[in-house]
Structure 1
Amino acid sequence: MQVLTSLILAAFVGYIGAWYVGAIEGNFALLLFLATVVTGVYWVAERFYFLPRRSKAAEAFASSTTQRREELERMGIRPDGADDLQETRQKLLMQPWWLDWTAGLFPVILVVFLLRSFLFEPFKIPSGSMYPTLWVGDLILVNKFTYGLRLPVLNTRVTQGKAPQRGDVVVFRYPPQPNVDYIKRIVGVPGDKVAYLNKRLTVNGQPVPTTAMTDFFEEDAMRYFKQFKEKFGDNTHNVLNNNDAPAFIQGASNFQYRDKCTYSVEGVTCTVPEGNFFVMGDNRDNSLDSRYWGFVPEGNIVGRAFFIWMNFGNFKRIGAFN
């Protein structure tokens, strides 16, 4: 078992290492699922096979040692080593290293797996596409049950949650590369006609209400940008515009349902297909989003982002956001 366990642990380390150096595209959900299954098998084997065997061996050792001492006492010889008996018994009951690194980790891995799969998943903001709402380095929580629970790995929905709404900030699997997670704001739901022309957003022919705010200083770019408060129903949030950036979309890819979009020098107009969503970054002129690579299928949505639980560079960032 030591050799088998060593090979299994080496396979996990090798997978993580290859993922880290970019040799493969890793899948954390699959990795966590496999870790839960493997450690769970070891935990069951420990509870019902290995531990009873060690306990039996320890009891047999204690029994034989006690009998030997009783014989010595009957012969008038005072035996020593009571402490040695307890120490040896504890050693016989102790988990070997290969069970300590498998069965011993199962409860922790199981809790992480359940929390991450069905309740909340952590996510780190990697870029400035969501300024001013989310900053680079923000560590956020994603609610995974608002839109309905899904089975991990298989991604099959098992409960019916509420439908994603305009204004929701969502984490989703990037359609051109599903192993990569993206975060953007939903601005169009199925059936909507979304237009972003001359840097003004309209949905179904109605301009999204905006109010000018004080300029925002983006530390990454070391410059100020125009800031506006935007409103979807009861949801209000701030967005940025760069007056120096052109209104037209450069480099849009040939995505699915591209025929639902019309590009011009003023920007883009799209009709959102059934089962899909149109998403944009709040940093409107510094965001690769649905304007460039297309719509987000409903099945790609991981959950709704709602809380910044840490930013090691700025503790004031901690808290809920719209």
Structure 2
Amino acid sequence: MEDNNQDVVIDPSVEKLNKIKKEILSWIYIIVSVFAFKSTFFEPNHIPSGSLLPTNAIGDFILVNKMSYGLKVPYSDLFGDPWYITTPSHPERGEIIVFRYPKDRNILFVKRVIGVPGDEIEVYNNKVYLNGKLVETRAVDKSKYIDLFDDKFDKKNIEFEEVTLGEKKFVTAVNNSMPYHLNIEKVTVPKDSFFVMGDNRDYSSDSRYWGFVPFGHVRGRAMFVWFSMVYPWSQEKFHFRPWRIGTTL
């Protein structure tokens, strides 16, 4: 009887090519999964400016909860406003949000929500009037916060106030020696939009200057600081602040 069994000889080059294909596919799966996780669940962001001082220091790395206002379809915010799997909810007054700059969606901003849809907002000399009432503030000791400011700020004349906005309390920085503050006459926050401000009131480009933030631009809520360092090669003075790790926002 003739033996038809024959050893199959695999071309080494084909075997190597298949191995490379599997390796490439595995890396593609990993990359797609990681970016899908960032798009839908959590995302790290870096604070490059001092507009949120003293809450956020220059160089803070923050973790952003992308699910805070609803579960999004992965990658949907790459094409404009995100698509939500669940019914979305709105940010609340006092929360710090990360959003796409209304005048250029390619730029991310971090600010604090001051007004929600339907609110009447007026800002005069760094005092916020919400629905006709002055938002409560009280002076606090500057020694606890001033070290977060570098020499480019007028540290001598900066004072600090604790602000109570609903159930949220936070500290803002104001320079009362400045001859002019960025004010805004009474405006009403439109539907599905928000009025935002930086905590460093005299050094913040925010809704007083460029208007409201549409809900579709909101990426998530800032949760806490997971690292804090200003790179040695950046334009800012080098800082490494390990004690800020874990600071809640």
- For Structure 1 versus Structure 2, the TM-score category normalised by the shorter chain is 0.7 to 0.9
Indicate the residue corresponding to 1:116 in structure 2: 38
Residue of structure 2 in register with 1:198 after alignment:
125
1:221 Cα deviation after fit: 2.6
Instruction: List aligned pairs for 1:289-308, cutoff 5 A.
Output: 289-308=206-225
Partner Cα distance (2:43, 2:49) in 1: 18
Contact 1:197 1:247 in 2 (8 A): no
Structure of greater Rg: 1
CA distance in 2 between partners of 1:61 and 1:97 (Å):
17
Supply the distance in 1 between the matched residues of 2:29 and 2:107 (Cα, whole angstroms). Answer: 28
On the 8 A contact 1:172/1:183 being kept in 2, the answer is yes
**More helix as a share of residues:** 1
TM-score, scaled to structure 1:
0.64
The answer on whether the counterparts of 1:248 and 1:267 sit within 8 Å (CA) in structure 2 is: no
Question: 1:156 pairs with 80, 83, 87, which one?
Answer: 83
1:61 aligned residue: 9
Inter-partner Cα distance in structure 2 for 1:167 and 1:125: 18
Which amino acid in structure 1 is aligned with residue 222 of structure 2? Answer: A
Of 229, 232, 243, which aligns to 2:165?
232
Say if 2:102 is the partner of 1:102. Answer: no
**Partner SS for 2:226:** strand
Instruction: Tell me, yes or no, if the aligned pair for 1:142 and 1:303 is still in contact at 8 Å.
Output: yes
Q: Equivalents in 1 of 2:165, 2:248: separation in Å? A: 15
Summarize deviations over 1:186-221 as a string: whole Å, max 9, x none. Answer: 000011011111221111012211121112321253
**1:129 equivalent in alignment to 2:60:** no
Offset of residue 307 of structure 1? 1.2
Q: Given the alignment, which residue of 149, 152, 160 partners 1:221? A: 152
Between the aligned residues of both structures, percent identity stands at: 37
1:179 deviation in Å? Answer: 0.9
Higher RCO structure, 1 or 2 (CA under 8 Å, sep 6+): 2
Q: Could you say what the CA RMSD is over the residues aligned between the two structures, in angstroms? A: 2.3
Shift of 1:133: 0.4
Structure 1 residue 321: deviation in Å?
2.2
1:104: how far off?
Answer: 3.3
**Equivalent pair of 1:306/1:321 in contact (CA under 8 Å):** yes
User: Could you list the per-position Cα deviations for residues 157-183 of structure 1 after superposition, in whole angstroms to 9, with x for gaps in the alignment?
Assistant: 221243210001000000011111100
For each residue in 1:25-55, what CA deviation from the matched residue of structure 2 results, as whole angstroms up to 9, or x when unmatched? xxxxxxxxxxxxxxxxxxxxxxxxxxxxxxx
Distance 2:131 2:33 in 1: 44
